[in-house]
């Protein structure tokens, strides 16, 4: 029981640590304005650092673009006619619709690449009449940053859910092993109890056998005494008969 409580406490502490770490990561997920060169063209856009594996981030980002992303982030969506193209972490979407930024179709150019401290996710939004910029389009820039931050938060949440699932599997497997040990201990105790009972039965049988042997030995001695007594009685009877015969002879 103590071991089980210790394992459960360990898992809880790990989950709390992961939760606090995720919250800290999310708070540090600041969006910065930066220029990135894509296919030989330098574009100004927004960039966010996500402290997760680049493969995980890229896969989620591609899904976000291809599946409209409405189920993950409220508000923005990509039109069904939008086409996404990828190459070396670069994703471009034509005729995308992000209602929180613009009601007009957008052109999205984005790039996902691994960095020293995590994964860098960058995108540039061409709104037709202007590019997304912190000074040029402040409202749209804020909404775009919110989309990236929410995307990062959702990834952190998914990562925590995965870790929770893994931790729960560890708990289940550990509990199964602990239960097996307990069952083995119970089986051993059962065998010990049966062995002790069998020992008592054998000891009782051995004691009864010893008493029986002792009684048989006494019976043998009594039998020998009885034989001796019977022998003496027989001799006495024979002697008596001889006396009677002698008296009979005198009568003649």
Question: Each residue of 99-149: pLDDT tens digit?
Answer: 888 888 888 899 999 988 899 999 999 988 888 999 999 999 999 999 999
Within-domain flag for 50? yes
Within-domain flag for 84? yes
Within-domain flag for 138? yes
Is the confidence at residue 216, as pLDDT, over 90?
no
Helix axes 138-251, 2-28, angle to 10 degrees: 170
Is the confidence at residue 4, as pLDDT, over 90?
no
- For residues 46, 50, 55, 61, the Cα torsion angle rounded to the nearest 10 degrees is -50
| DSSP-assigned letter for residue 135 | T
CATH number of residue 145's parent domain? 3.30.530
What does the pLDDT average to over 176-184? 87
Tens digit of each residue's pLDDT (9 = 90 or more) over 50-99: 999 999 999 999 888 877 543 222 223 343 444 454 457 888 888 888 88
Within-domain flag for 225? no
What does the pLDDT average to over 184-188? 89
Within-domain flag for 67? yes
Continuous H helices in 29-116: 54-66
Which domain covers residue 74, as residue numbers?
A: 2-160
Within-domain flag for 235? no
Question: Can you list the positions of beta strands (E) in 56-213?
Answer: 83-87, 90-96, 106-114, 119-126
What does the pLDDT average to over 183-211? 90
Provide, rounded to the nearest whole percent, the portion of the chain with pLDDT above 90: 31
Instruction: Return the structure tokens found at 175.
Output: 């509990």
Q: Phi first, then psi: give them for residue 42, nearest 5 degrees.
A: -90, 125
Within-domain flag for 136? yes
**Residue pair 124/58 in contact by the 8 Å Cβ criterion:** no
When pLDDT is cut at 50, 70 and 90, the band that residue 213 belongs to is: confident
Domain count of the fold of the chain: 1
Within-domain flag for 108? yes
* Ramachandran bin of 95, using left for φ above 0, alpha for ψ from -120 to 50, beta for the remaining angles: left
């Amino acid at each position: 029981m103590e071991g089980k409580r210790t394992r459960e406490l360990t898992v809880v502490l790990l989950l709390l640590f992961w939760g606090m770490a995720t919250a800290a990561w999310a708070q540090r997920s600041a969006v910065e304005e930066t220029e990135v060169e894509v296919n030989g063209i330098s574009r100004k856009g927004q960039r966010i650092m996500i402290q997760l594996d680049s493969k995980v981030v890229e896969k989620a980002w591609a899904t976000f673009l291809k599946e409209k992303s409405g189920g993950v982030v409220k508000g923005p969506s990509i039109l069904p006619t939008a086409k996404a193209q990828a190459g070396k972490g670069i994703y471009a979407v034509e005729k995308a619709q992000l209602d929180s930024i613009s009601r007009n179709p957008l052109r999205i150019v984005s790039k996902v690449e691994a960095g020293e401290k995590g994964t860098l996710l960058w995108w540039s939004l061409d709104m037709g009449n202007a590019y997304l910029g912190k000074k040029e389009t402040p409202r749209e820039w804020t909404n775009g940053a919110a989309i990236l931050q929410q995307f990062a938060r959702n990834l952190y949440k998914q990562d925590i859910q995965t870790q929770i699932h893994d931790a729960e599997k560890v708990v289940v497997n550990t509990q199964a092993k602990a239960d097996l040990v307990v069952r083995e201990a119970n089986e051993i105790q059962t065998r010990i109890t049966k062995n002790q009972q069998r020992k008592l039965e054998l000891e009782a049988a051995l004691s009864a056998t010893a008493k029986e042997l002792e009684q048989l030995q006494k019976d043998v001695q009594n039998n020998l005494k009885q034989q001796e007594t019977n022998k003496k009685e027989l001799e006495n009877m024979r002697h008596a008969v001889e006396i009677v015969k002698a008296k009979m002879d005198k009568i003649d």
